[in-house]
């Protein structure tokens, strides 16, 4: 199982939120590039980079952060937040993103996102599935849609999507453990899916359980920044 640290960006700085609430912002690094370099030095190979400003504004804001991390590290970057047009998707790839995660557009305009799958290939696209009470959340978790998680996954599984990043918003930043039941249900239903679990990871034990369940990868954020999980522990786990 891949371990993928998260770097969330507001005003060009590395922050974390609780349950997606922008009012809970806590700054951990003034320069996200420094955080990315620390991860790479600790043996990490992948990074989940989220433009929270872009998610809220519905257009990418922090292009420079993506470009800086991509040019100053060799990390495999998954970039998300405010990618709403094919041009923005292409720009993300041009600036060094290996993959992009798309949630709001996939929920609101599925025909267009299917077109992206054909345009860019399923290996470059990660379907964002942010969940509030089994409903898909959009616009940086500021809004809940009417789509339930399983019909959402049914549709895109049929369209050939391979990667899904699923976050239970109620767990995000709480350090109380991931949504194991949700992930178990998804993996039971879609055995071939490369499921990336996100939200709530608080310990190495959590990661071990996600690995045993069959998750393809796990996003780790606040647990690292708050010292619950050290890079040395992650290195040993890997």
Residues assigned a catalytic role: 8, 130
Nearest to 171 by CA among 143, 146, 199, 152: 199
DSSP structure string for 184-236: HHHHHH-TT-EEEEES---SHHHHHHHHHHT-SEEEE-HHHHTTSS-HHHHHH
The residues that bridge with 194 in the sheet, in sequence order, are 163
Largest Cα separation within the chain, whole Å, is 44
3 state DSSP class of 135: strand
Distance (Å, whole) CA 42 – CA 234: 8
Contact 153, 189 (CB under 8 A): yes
CA 228-99-72 angle, to 5 degrees, is 70
The residues that bridge with 34 in the sheet, in sequence order, are none
Distance (Å, whole) CA 104 – CA 82: 8
Contact 91, 118 (CB under 8 A): no
């Amino acid at each position: 199982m891949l371990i993928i640290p998260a770097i969330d960006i507001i005003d060009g700085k590395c922050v974390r939120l609780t349950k997606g609430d922008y009012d809970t912002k806590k700054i951990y690094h003034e320069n996200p590039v420094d955080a990315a370099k620390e991860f790479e030095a600790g043996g990490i190979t992948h990074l989940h980079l989220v433009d929270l400003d872009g998610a809220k504004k519905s257009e990418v804001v922090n292009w420079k952060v993506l470009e800086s991390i991509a040019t100053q590290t060799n990390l495999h970057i998954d970039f998300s937040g405010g990618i709403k047009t094919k041009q923005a998707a292409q720009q993300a790839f041009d600036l060094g993103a290996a993959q992009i995660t798309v949630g709001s557009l996939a929920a609101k305009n599925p025909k267009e996102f299917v077109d992206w799958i054909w345009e860019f290939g399923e290996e470059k696209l990660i379907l964002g599935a942010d969940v509030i009470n089994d409903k898909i959340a959009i616009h940086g978790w500021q809004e809940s849609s009417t789509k339930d998680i399983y019909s959402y996954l049914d549709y895109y599984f049929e369209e050939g999507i391979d990667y899904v990043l699923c976050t239970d918003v109620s767990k995000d930043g709480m350090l109380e453990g991931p949504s194991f039941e949700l992930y178990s249900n998804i993996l039971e239903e879609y055995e071939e899916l490369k499921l990336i679990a996100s939200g709530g990871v608080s310990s190495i034990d959590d990661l071990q359980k996600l690995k045993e369940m069959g998750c393809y990868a796990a996003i780790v954020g606040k647990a690292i920044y708050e010292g619950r999980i050290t890079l040395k522990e992650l290195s040993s786990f890997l």
